[in-house]
Amino acid sequence: MSGLLPKVIVIAMVTSIVDLLLLPPVSDRDMDKPLDERES
């Protein structure tokens, strides 16, 4: 149980961070663009 609570908190934090990053309308293609630029 004590190990599950931190996991839920981390998931909630990651979800809120992703929500902040995706606040502007972002499509899957838009998400791939920055990834491609970082790789190349």
Query: Which of helix, strand or coil describes residue 3?
Result: coil
Predicted model pTM: 0.45
Report pLDDT for 21: 84
Cite the DSSP H helix spans in 1-40: 4-21, 28-39
Report pLDDT for 30: 58
* Domain residue ranges of the chain, discontinuous segments joined by +: 4-39
CA 27 to the chain's CA centroid: 14
**Mean per-residue pLDDT for 10-36?**
75
**Mean per-residue pLDDT for 10-35?**
75
Q: How many alpha carbons lie under 13 Å from residue 33 in its C-beta half-sphere?
A: 5
